[in-house]
Amino acid sequence: MRIRIMALTAVALTAAGCGQLPPAPSASETTAPPSAPSTSAPSPSASGSATSGGEDTRPALATVQGTVEPNYKAELVGLNRVGGKHLIVQLRLSTSTDKPLHWQAPLADPMRPLKWRWPSGIAVLDAPAHRWLMPYKPADGECLCSDTDRDDLEPIIDPGKSLTVYAVLPAPSGNPATTTIVTPIGPPMVDVPISDDPPVPPPGQQLPDADASQVETVSHLIETPSQSLDRTEETTDDGADLKVSLSSDVLFALNKATLTSRARTVLAKAAKLIDTSADTTIEVDGHADSSGTDAINEPLSRRRAEAVRQALTQLITRDQVTFKAQGYGSRRPLYSNSSDEGRRRNRRVTITFAKPAPAEVPATGTTASPLPEGKGTTATVRAKGVPFDLKVTAFRRMPGDLGLLRYTITNRGDGKAWYHDLNWADDWNAFKYHAATNIQVTDPAARRLYRPARVIVAKGEEPGTYCACTNTSGVALSAMNFEPGETKEFWSLYALPAQADALTVKVATWRALQVPLS
């Protein structure tokens, strides 16, 4: 089947049915070359939005200012659901300085090969499904989105001018009225209303029909890690399952598979979580670090998994639950084995089961209230003698037990300065690329610590785990370089405890702040 490029003045697209979570990514099938784009001129949509003189004059639905390049502005001017299953996102790009703006690299997907013809970094955060939805990948290209070659787009935007680009993605699950748009430029645009009207193409471009060709869905899983403050347990939540990893150093003596006296307390907490789940099959997996050989590690990890299985069988209160125990030795590390802490965390028994139904949390409305000024949300620190101000601007609760933290950093010094400490999290928790990971969120009442969410790159892409936070590597390397008086905004995504109304936030070297949730 050939790709059809449609002029939306001639073809009316209507939304039908309920959007569902797209299937896991798979390799695209070979298709015939695409047909030539339609030459029909675009026209205004039924909503009255219009373009004039080659410039996009539509009102902005949301705006984000660049973190890497503060003069880089992206305005969301179109967000349309097509056929109930696709989403067309349109961004109007511009610069607020008298210098030309190179727009391609900052808007490229850092998770794909660096081919900067496309705005491939436009994404949708499907929070309830814990999914990062990216533009489709057609069989004959990298991105179902604006193409600088095909659409004859300039790679530079001149001062006073703008350029609108588009991307076609899977619609978020559940047919929501609003969604969250994420770009590499700056913080996410939250609660943007989705229109089911036919979209208006950007000036001089046509929008492709995603149903007219075999395309690959690019969808990354989001995992949110948290741990008990006593370091006996670490849990990851991917929206569907919980993986509760119990420290083998607490459960067992060295090279032993007999549970310690302390183990029963740790396992009792895990059993309570299992009792709140509706899952009838619970997986118990033993793991080791890279020390020793698999001839020792695999049978030891299997015996340890079996010991935990037997104990949990006696501790849970639900009937008709089946446990499956298996040992993997050192084959599935959570973290690098290059540090003591990484190896300690890799020595574990992981219990996997369906996530319990979330507790009801009072609705906060679609617009987050600004956080109050004062000692609770601001702090100052000196880096090589230069004063830097921190201000937490929002910490809002989102669907899927997720929380979005937004904060600004300002250089109060008299000269240009770097602030590097935001990149330097614990080495065992390091990501493949630098990002604003050095942030800890703590719930003191529950004695639990939360770290930034991890984006797990799907099959078919370059393997890796990325931070769901501000990127500070590659083309974003200058994110931590501040002019005197300059303010930049950063963000990160976390798991959130269901009933908390305030959390302790520790950003890099600044003092801990008590931050209310909004």
Across the chain, mean pLDDT equals: 84
pLDDT score for 424: 79
For domain 241-354, say whether CATH 3.30.1330.60 is its number: yes
Mean pLDDT on 294-315: 96
Supply the DSSP symbol for 130. Answer: T
pLDDT score for 46: 33
If you search the block for the tokens 């601001």, which residue do you land on? 378
Instruction: Tell me the C-alpha distance between 348 and 306, whole Å.
Output: 13
Instruction: Tell me the C-alpha distance between 396 and 370, whole Å.
Output: 10
Instruction: Tell me the C-alpha distance between 34 and 197, whole Å.
Output: 26
**Under a CB-based contact definition with an 8 Å cutoff, are residues 499 and 429 in contact?**
no
- 304 pLDDT above the threshold of 80: yes
Q: Where are the domains of the chain?
A: 5-217, 241-354, 378-516
pLDDT score for 370: 56
Smallest CA-to-CA distance from 187 within 384, 394, 353, 456 is with: 394
pLDDT score for 365: 41
pLDDT score for 114: 66
- 373 pLDDT above the threshold of 60: no
Return the higher-pLDDT residue of 212 and 239: 239
Least confident of 75-84, 148-157, 435-444: 148-157
Least confident of 78-87, 321-330, 472-481: 472-481
- Structure-derived torsion over alpha carbons of residues 106, 129, 85, 64, reported in degrees to the nearest 10: -30
378-516 shares the fold of 241-354: no
pLDDT score for 473: 78
Mean pLDDT on 275-296: 94
- 321 pLDDT above the threshold of 50: yes
Give residue-wise pLDDT tens across range 421-479.
998 777 667 776 788 999 999 999 999 999 999 998 865 545 578 899 998 877 777 88
Residue 292 binned pLDDT confidence (cut-offs 50, 70, 90): confident
**Under a CB-based contact definition with an 8 Å cutoff, are residues 67 and 78 in contact?**
no
Residues forming a β-bridge with 241: 354
Residue 37 binned pLDDT confidence (cut-offs 50, 70, 90): very low
* pTM metric for this prediction: 0.84
pLDDT score for 8: 30
Least confident of 12-16, 47-51, 404-408, 441-445: 12-16
User: Of all residues in the chain, what percent carry a pLDDT higher than 70?
Assistant: 84
Residue 26 binned pLDDT confidence (cut-offs 50, 70, 90): very low
Structure tokens at 138: 């057609």
pLDDT score for 369: 53
pLDDT score for 366: 41
Fold of 378-516: Immunoglobulin-like (2.60.40)
Residue 152, classified by CB atoms within 10 Å of its CB into exposed (0-12), middle (13-18) or buried (19+), is exposed
Mean pLDDT on 301-308: 97
DSSP 205-220: --EE-GGGS-EE--EE
Most confident of 101-115, 364-378, 502-516: 502-516
Q: How far is CA 268 from CA 280, 285, 308, 318, 446, in A?
A: 18, 17, 11, 14, 16
Q: How far is CA 298 from CA 285, 350, 479, in A?
A: 11, 15, 44
Mean pLDDT on 176-203: 95
Instruction: Tell me the C-alpha distance between 25 and 494, whole Å.
Output: 24
- 210 pLDDT above the threshold of 70: yes
Mean pLDDT on 257-268: 94
